[in-house]
């Protein structure tokens, strides 16, 4: 079975923009290294003088990268679940 999904022009522009490559590159970081750096910064083992920068940056990467994929995935799933015309 072949399925064609149409999404808003906004998401097409985002998926074709350089922003998408940045988010794709940060995906592995948000899953593995950001939580580790957050833990190590909180424990005072990783650049203790720069924790005020590292901690919010880690939270931003952990939160916003999956948020981007959930929004894009939600648009695709909504289109797939919509009844055919």
How does pLDDT run across 36-82, given as a tens digit for each residue?
888 888 888 888 888 888 888 888 888 888 888 888 888 888 877 87
Inside any domain, residue 3: no
Q: What is the pLDDT of residue 84?
A: 62
Examine residue 9 and state whether it is found in any structural domain, yes or no: no
Count the neighbouring beta carbons within 10 Å of the beta carbon of residue 52. 9
pTM higher than the cut 0.75: no
Q: Is the pLDDT confidence value at 8 over 80?
A: yes
1 occurs within a structural domain: no
Distance (Å, whole) CA 35 – CA 13: 30
Angle between helices 51-81 and 9-16 in degrees, nearest 10: 130
Total domains present in the chain: 1
Note down the domain range covering 55: 14-81
In angstroms, the CA 83 to CA 74 distance is 16
């Amino acid at each position: 079975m072949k399925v064609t999904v149409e999404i808003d022009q906004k998401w097409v522009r985002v998926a074709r923009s350089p922003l998408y490559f940045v988010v794709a590159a940060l995906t592995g970081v948000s899953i593995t290294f950001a939580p580790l750096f957050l833990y190590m910064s909180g424990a005072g083992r990783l650049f203790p003088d720069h924790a005020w920068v590292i901690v919010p940056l880690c939270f931003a990467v952990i939160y916003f990268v999956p948020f981007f994929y959930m929004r894009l995935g939600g648009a695709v799933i909504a289109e797939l679940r919509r009844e055919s015309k």
